[in-house]
Protein backbone atom coordinates (compact mmCIF):
# COMPACT_ATOMS: atom_id res chain seq x y z
CA UNK A 1 0.00 0.00 0.00
CA UNK A 2 1.25 3.47 -0.90
CA UNK A 3 0.73 5.35 2.36
CA UNK A 4 -0.04 9.04 2.20
CA UNK A 5 0.05 11.90 4.65
CA UNK A 6 -3.37 13.04 5.84
CA UNK A 7 -3.87 16.56 7.12
CA UNK A 8 -7.52 16.39 8.13
CA UNK A 9 -8.48 17.81 11.52
CA UNK A 10 -9.71 14.27 12.23
CA UNK A 11 -9.80 11.32 12.33
CA UNK A 12 -6.21 11.04 13.42
CA UNK A 13 -3.60 8.82 11.84
CA UNK A 14 -3.42 5.81 14.14
CA UNK A 15 -0.10 4.13 14.99
CA UNK A 16 0.68 1.09 12.88
CA UNK A 17 0.92 -1.05 16.02
CA UNK A 18 -2.70 -0.26 16.86
CA UNK A 19 -3.83 -1.05 13.32
CA UNK A 20 -1.96 -4.36 13.29
CA UNK A 21 -3.35 -5.42 16.67
CA UNK A 22 -6.85 -4.51 15.53
CA UNK A 23 -6.57 -6.62 12.39
CA UNK A 24 -5.55 -9.63 14.44
CA UNK A 25 -8.30 -9.04 16.99
CA UNK A 26 -10.92 -8.92 14.25
CA UNK A 27 -9.76 -12.38 13.22
CA UNK A 28 -9.43 -13.80 16.73
CA UNK A 29 -9.87 -11.78 19.92
CA UNK A 30 -7.30 -12.85 22.51
CA UNK A 31 -7.32 -16.49 21.47
CA UNK A 32 -11.06 -16.90 22.10
CA UNK A 33 -11.71 -18.12 18.58
CA UNK A 34 -14.23 -15.29 18.22
CA UNK A 35 -13.79 -12.04 16.32
CA UNK A 36 -13.58 -8.81 18.31
CA UNK A 37 -16.59 -7.67 16.29
CA UNK A 38 -18.62 -10.60 17.64
CA UNK A 39 -17.32 -10.91 21.20
CA UNK A 40 -19.69 -10.48 24.13
CA UNK A 41 -18.90 -7.47 26.30
CA UNK A 42 -19.65 -9.64 29.32
CA UNK A 43 -16.65 -11.92 28.83
CA UNK A 44 -13.60 -11.84 31.09
CA UNK A 45 -11.43 -11.13 28.07
CA UNK A 46 -13.35 -7.94 27.32
CA UNK A 47 -13.41 -6.96 31.00
CA UNK A 48 -9.62 -7.09 30.96
CA UNK A 49 -9.46 -4.77 27.94
CA UNK A 50 -11.78 -2.23 29.60
CA UNK A 51 -9.76 -2.36 32.82
CA UNK A 52 -6.51 -1.90 30.93
CA UNK A 53 -7.86 1.04 28.94
CA UNK A 54 -9.10 2.86 32.04
CA UNK A 55 -5.80 2.21 33.80
CA UNK A 56 -3.79 3.56 30.86
CA UNK A 57 -5.81 6.79 30.79
CA UNK A 58 -5.20 7.23 34.52
CA UNK A 59 -1.49 6.46 34.20
CA UNK A 60 -0.78 8.61 31.15
CA UNK A 61 -2.59 11.67 32.51
CA UNK A 62 -1.77 11.09 36.20
CA UNK A 63 -5.48 11.22 37.04
CA UNK A 64 -6.20 11.56 40.79
CA UNK A 65 -8.04 8.79 42.63
CA UNK A 66 -11.20 10.86 43.12
CA UNK A 67 -11.81 10.96 39.37
CA UNK A 68 -13.19 8.28 37.07
CA UNK A 69 -12.72 7.62 33.37
CA UNK A 70 -15.75 6.54 31.36
CA UNK A 71 -16.29 5.65 27.71
CA UNK A 72 -19.46 6.78 25.95
CA UNK A 73 -21.23 6.78 22.61
CA UNK A 74 -22.41 9.84 20.73
CA UNK A 75 -19.12 11.71 20.44
CA UNK A 76 -18.32 15.07 22.01
CA UNK A 77 -21.42 16.54 20.37
CA UNK A 78 -23.70 14.48 22.63
CA UNK A 79 -21.61 15.50 25.63
CA UNK A 80 -22.47 19.16 24.94
CA UNK A 81 -25.97 18.25 26.10
CA UNK A 82 -24.93 15.79 28.81
CA UNK A 83 -22.56 18.26 30.45
CA UNK A 84 -25.33 20.82 30.86
CA UNK A 85 -27.85 18.27 32.10
CA UNK A 86 -25.44 16.90 34.73
CA UNK A 87 -23.91 20.17 35.95
CA UNK A 88 -26.07 23.18 35.06
CA UNK A 89 -28.50 24.06 37.85
CA UNK A 90 -28.72 27.83 37.51
CA UNK A 91 -25.94 29.51 35.53
CA UNK A 92 -22.86 28.61 33.46
CA UNK A 93 -20.41 30.56 31.34
CA UNK A 94 -18.66 29.50 28.15
CA UNK A 95 -15.54 30.82 26.47
CA UNK A 96 -16.51 31.20 22.81
CA UNK A 97 -13.42 30.28 20.80
CA UNK A 98 -14.98 28.68 17.74
CA UNK A 99 -17.70 26.58 16.20
CA UNK A 100 -17.46 23.74 18.74
CA UNK A 101 -17.58 26.06 21.72
CA UNK A 102 -20.61 27.82 20.27
CA UNK A 103 -22.35 24.48 19.67
CA UNK A 104 -21.71 23.46 23.28
CA UNK A 105 -23.16 26.77 24.47
CA UNK A 106 -26.25 26.35 22.30
CA UNK A 107 -27.07 23.02 23.97
CA UNK A 108 -26.53 24.40 27.47
CA UNK A 109 -29.03 27.22 26.94
CA UNK A 110 -31.83 24.66 26.98
CA UNK A 111 -31.15 23.80 30.63
CA UNK A 112 -30.44 27.08 32.39
CA UNK A 113 -28.81 30.45 32.05
CA UNK A 114 -25.76 29.93 29.84
CA UNK A 115 -23.82 32.68 28.15
CA UNK A 116 -20.52 33.49 26.45
CA UNK A 117 -18.26 35.22 28.94
CA UNK A 118 -15.96 36.30 26.10
CA UNK A 119 -15.67 35.61 22.39
CA UNK A 120 -13.16 35.94 19.57
CA UNK A 121 -15.83 35.76 16.89
CA UNK A 122 -15.16 39.40 16.03
CA UNK A 123 -11.83 38.34 14.49
CA UNK A 124 -13.04 35.03 13.01
CA UNK A 125 -11.81 33.17 16.12
CA UNK A 126 -8.16 33.84 15.32
CA UNK A 127 -7.24 34.43 18.97
CA UNK A 128 -8.08 33.20 22.47
CA UNK A 129 -9.95 35.82 24.55
CA UNK A 130 -8.13 36.81 27.72
CA UNK A 131 -9.76 39.99 28.99
CA UNK A 132 -12.52 38.53 31.14
CA UNK A 133 -13.29 37.66 34.75
CA UNK A 134 -14.97 34.46 35.87
CA UNK A 135 -17.87 35.09 38.29
CA UNK A 136 -17.85 32.96 41.42
CA UNK A 137 -21.56 32.16 41.29
CA UNK A 138 -21.33 29.90 38.23
CA UNK A 139 -22.17 26.21 38.31
CA UNK A 140 -19.23 25.77 35.92
CA UNK A 141 -17.04 27.46 33.33
CA UNK A 142 -16.63 25.66 29.99
CA UNK A 143 -13.70 25.91 27.59
CA UNK A 144 -12.71 24.25 24.33
CA UNK A 145 -8.95 23.92 24.56
CA UNK A 146 -8.10 23.43 20.88
CA UNK A 147 -9.93 24.85 17.90
CA UNK A 148 -9.22 22.79 14.82
CA UNK A 149 -10.80 25.08 12.24
CA UNK A 150 -9.00 28.21 13.39
CA UNK A 151 -5.67 26.85 14.64
CA UNK A 152 -5.85 28.27 18.16
CA UNK A 153 -5.21 26.52 21.46
CA UNK A 154 -5.33 27.13 25.20
CA UNK A 155 -1.99 25.53 25.94
CA UNK A 156 -1.89 25.82 29.74
CA UNK A 157 -4.28 24.86 32.52
CA UNK A 158 -6.14 27.95 33.66
CA UNK A 159 -6.85 28.80 37.29
CA UNK A 160 -10.60 28.87 37.78
CA UNK A 161 -12.62 29.82 40.90
CA UNK A 162 -15.55 27.60 39.85
CA UNK A 163 -15.76 24.06 38.45
CA UNK A 164 -13.88 23.97 35.13
CA UNK A 165 -15.11 21.74 32.30
CA UNK A 166 -13.09 21.30 29.12
CA UNK A 167 -13.72 19.83 25.70
CA UNK A 168 -10.27 18.47 24.85
CA UNK A 169 -11.30 16.45 21.81
CA UNK A 170 -8.42 17.57 19.61
CA UNK A 171 -5.53 18.05 22.03
CA UNK A 172 -6.02 15.40 24.71
CA UNK A 173 -2.87 13.33 25.27
CA UNK A 174 -0.83 15.85 23.27
CA UNK A 175 0.58 17.66 26.31
CA UNK A 176 0.68 17.24 30.08
CA UNK A 177 -2.53 18.31 31.84
CA UNK A 178 -3.14 18.93 35.54
CA UNK A 179 -6.40 17.02 35.76
CA UNK A 180 -6.99 18.21 39.33
CA UNK A 181 -7.76 21.69 38.00
CA UNK A 182 -10.79 20.39 36.11
CA UNK A 183 -14.12 19.03 37.23
CA UNK A 184 -14.54 17.28 33.89
CA UNK A 185 -12.52 16.74 30.72
CA UNK A 186 -14.22 15.13 27.74
CA UNK A 187 -13.91 14.64 24.01
CA UNK A 188 -14.30 12.41 21.01
CA UNK A 189 -11.51 9.87 20.71
CA UNK A 190 -11.09 10.22 16.95
CA UNK A 191 -8.96 13.36 17.00
CA UNK A 192 -6.11 11.97 19.13
CA UNK A 193 -6.90 8.80 21.06
CA UNK A 194 -8.44 6.33 18.65
CA UNK A 195 -11.08 5.91 15.94
CA UNK A 196 -14.53 7.45 15.75
CA UNK A 197 -17.28 5.75 17.71
CA UNK A 198 -16.30 6.40 21.32
CA UNK A 199 -16.04 9.46 23.53
CA UNK A 200 -14.06 9.71 26.76
CA UNK A 201 -14.91 11.59 29.94
CA UNK A 202 -12.74 12.19 32.99
CA UNK A 203 -14.98 13.28 35.85
CA UNK A 204 -14.50 14.29 39.46
CA UNK A 205 -16.92 11.91 41.09
CA UNK A 206 -18.12 14.08 43.97
CA UNK A 207 -19.16 16.84 41.55
CA UNK A 208 -22.07 14.75 40.29
CA UNK A 209 -25.58 14.55 41.71
CA UNK A 210 -25.92 18.28 42.39
CA UNK A 211 -28.69 19.12 39.92
CA UNK A 212 -32.35 18.77 40.85
CA UNK A 213 -33.72 17.85 37.41
CA UNK A 214 -34.53 14.30 36.43
CA UNK A 215 -31.64 12.75 34.53
CA UNK A 216 -32.46 10.01 32.02
CA UNK A 217 -30.49 6.90 32.87
CA UNK A 218 -28.19 7.06 29.84
CA UNK A 219 -27.54 10.80 30.32
CA UNK A 220 -26.60 10.47 34.00
CA UNK A 221 -22.81 10.11 34.25
CA UNK A 222 -23.22 8.20 37.51
CA UNK A 223 -24.81 5.37 35.54
CA UNK A 224 -21.67 4.88 33.49
CA UNK A 225 -19.34 5.26 36.45
CA UNK A 226 -21.30 2.71 38.50
CA UNK A 227 -21.45 0.23 35.60
CA UNK A 228 -17.83 0.74 34.48
CA UNK A 229 -18.97 2.07 31.07
CA UNK A 230 -20.94 -1.10 30.40
CA UNK A 231 -24.50 -0.20 31.35
CA UNK A 232 -25.28 -0.98 27.72
CA UNK A 233 -23.15 -2.61 25.03
CA UNK A 234 -20.08 -0.40 24.59
CA UNK A 235 -18.45 0.34 21.21
CA UNK A 236 -16.00 -2.53 21.63
CA UNK A 237 -14.01 -2.05 18.44
CA UNK A 238 -13.41 1.66 19.03
CA UNK A 239 -12.40 1.06 22.65
CA UNK A 240 -10.06 -1.77 21.64
CA UNK A 241 -8.27 0.44 19.10
CA UNK A 242 -8.12 3.27 21.64
CA UNK A 243 -6.53 0.90 24.15
CA UNK A 244 -3.92 -0.18 21.61
CA UNK A 245 -3.19 3.47 20.81
CA UNK A 246 -2.68 4.24 24.51
CA UNK A 247 -0.33 1.25 24.82
CA UNK A 248 1.68 2.63 21.90
CA UNK A 249 1.74 6.10 23.47
CA UNK A 250 3.02 4.67 26.74
CA UNK A 251 5.68 2.77 24.81
CA UNK A 252 7.15 5.91 23.22
CA UNK A 253 7.44 7.67 26.58
CA UNK A 254 3.91 8.85 27.29
CA UNK A 255 2.30 12.25 27.07
CA UNK A 256 5.49 14.06 28.00
CA UNK A 257 7.36 12.52 25.07
CA UNK A 258 4.46 13.19 22.70
CA UNK A 259 4.45 16.84 23.76
CA UNK A 260 8.07 17.21 22.73
CA UNK A 261 7.33 15.60 19.36
CA UNK A 262 4.37 17.91 18.80
CA UNK A 263 6.35 21.03 19.71
CA UNK A 264 9.12 20.08 17.29
CA UNK A 265 6.72 19.40 14.41
CA UNK A 266 4.76 22.60 15.03
CA UNK A 267 7.91 24.70 15.28
CA UNK A 268 9.19 23.37 11.97
CA UNK A 269 5.96 24.30 10.20
CA UNK A 270 5.47 27.69 11.84
CA UNK A 271 9.07 28.69 11.14
CA UNK A 272 8.56 27.99 7.44
CA UNK A 273 5.20 29.78 7.33
CA UNK A 274 6.78 32.86 8.94
CA UNK A 275 9.87 32.69 6.71
CA UNK A 276 8.15 32.09 3.41
CA UNK A 277 6.55 35.10 1.72
CA UNK A 278 4.03 32.81 0.00
CA UNK A 279 2.14 32.04 3.21
CA UNK A 280 0.62 33.69 6.24
CA UNK A 281 -0.62 32.03 9.42
CA UNK A 282 -4.23 32.66 10.40
CA UNK A 283 -3.93 32.58 14.22
CA UNK A 284 -2.21 35.20 16.35
CA UNK A 285 1.25 33.85 17.23
CA UNK A 286 0.74 33.62 21.00
CA UNK A 287 -2.36 31.43 20.58
CA UNK A 288 -1.14 29.18 17.78
CA UNK A 289 -2.13 25.55 18.18
CA UNK A 290 0.54 22.87 18.18
CA UNK A 291 -2.10 20.44 16.92
CA UNK A 292 -3.76 22.22 13.99
CA UNK A 293 -1.56 24.57 11.99
CA UNK A 294 -3.70 26.81 9.83
CA UNK A 295 -2.32 29.04 7.07
CA UNK A 296 -3.37 30.57 3.77
CA UNK A 297 -1.66 32.08 0.77
CA UNK A 298 -0.29 35.54 1.51
CA UNK A 299 -2.18 38.57 0.16
CA UNK A 300 -1.39 38.95 -3.52
CA UNK A 301 -0.36 35.30 -3.81
CA UNK A 302 -3.83 33.75 -3.80
CA UNK A 303 -3.53 32.89 -7.48
CA UNK A 304 -0.79 30.40 -6.61
CA UNK A 305 -2.99 28.29 -4.35
CA UNK A 306 -3.95 25.69 -6.96
CA UNK A 307 -0.33 25.38 -8.03
CA UNK A 308 0.77 24.90 -4.41
CA UNK A 309 -1.87 22.22 -3.82
CA UNK A 310 -0.81 20.39 -6.97
CA UNK A 311 2.85 20.62 -5.93
CA UNK A 312 1.99 19.23 -2.48
CA UNK A 313 0.14 16.29 -3.99
CA UNK A 314 3.15 15.43 -6.13
CA UNK A 315 5.41 15.43 -3.08
Distances (CA, A) of 94 to 26, 106, 163, 241, 243: 42, 10, 12, 32, 31
**Among the options 191, 204, 220, 287, which is catalytic?**
191
**Active site includes 100?**
yes
Distance CA 22, CA 313 (A): 29
Rounded to 5 degrees, what are φ and ψ at 13?
A: -85, 115
DSSP letters spanning 176-207: ---GGG-SEEEEEGGGTTS-TT-EEEEEEGGG
What 8-state DSSP symbol labels residue 158? Answer: P
**Active site includes 167?**
yes
**Active site includes 46?**
no
**Among the options 46, 57, 96, 100, which is catalytic?**
100
Contact 150, 96 (CB under 8 A): no
**Among the options 96, 139, 167, 171, which is catalytic?**
167
What 8-state DSSP symbol labels residue 22? Answer: H
Which residues are annotated as catalytic?
100, 167, 191
Amino acid sequence: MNKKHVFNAGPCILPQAALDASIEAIKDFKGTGVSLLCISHRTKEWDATMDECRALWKELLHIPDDYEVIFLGGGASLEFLCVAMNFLEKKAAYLDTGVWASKALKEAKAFGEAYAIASSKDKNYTYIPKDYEIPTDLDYFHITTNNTIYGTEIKTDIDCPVPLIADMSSDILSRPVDVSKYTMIYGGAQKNAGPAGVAFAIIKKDALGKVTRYLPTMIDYRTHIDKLSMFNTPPVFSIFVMNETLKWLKGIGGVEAMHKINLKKARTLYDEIDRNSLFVGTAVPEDRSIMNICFVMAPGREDLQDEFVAFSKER
